[in-house]
Amino acid sequence: MTSPVPLRLALVVAGGVIGSAARLGLGLALPAPGGSGLGAVPWATLIANVVGAFLIGVLAARLPSSSGVRILLGTGVLGGFTTYSAFAVGSVTLWHAQPWLAAAYAIGSLVLGLGAAALGLDLARPRSSHTQAHG
């Protein structure tokens, strides 16, 4: 019988491959940051992090943390799809060219990510029949 640790590790690895490939695809589909103004913003990273935060919120509201599906999708797929390191590098790179835009990008990313996670948790949280009838 397979122990839980190797199985969980395999789920994270498999999910991470999928999530990382999806993030690369998003990065290839959107123009690379360059130039000035909003064209300098790393949009693919922002989109990946906000969408990923929302979906992780949904998973956290719906699945127990020990669930194999949550480990595969949350830690694996969405962990590979979202990226703090690209956010940090993108912010610093943008800072050298346009400090005010970099500050707006960094603060906006945090606010949007937190808001997306909260929205995902709220929308996916099971409602009691009493709350649905009276709320």
**Residue 133 belongs to some domain of the structure:** no
**Residue 134 belongs to some domain of the structure:** no
Question: Considering its fold, how many domains does the chain have in total?
Answer: 1
Q: What is the pLDDT of residue 131?
A: 53
Q: What is the pLDDT of residue 132?
A: 54
**Residue 25 belongs to some domain of the structure:** yes
Q: What is the pLDDT of residue 129?
A: 61
Full domain range(s) for residue 93: 4-30+37-126
**Residue 56 belongs to some domain of the structure:** yes
**Residue 45 belongs to some domain of the structure:** yes
* Residue 120 annotated as part of some ligand binding site: no
Which residues, in sequence order, are CB contacts of 1 under 8 Å at separation 6+?
A: none
Q: What is the pLDDT of residue 1?
A: 41
Q: What is the pLDDT of residue 121?
A: 96
Could you say which residues of the chain have pLDDT below 70? 1-3, 129-135
* Residue 2 annotated as part of some ligand binding site: no
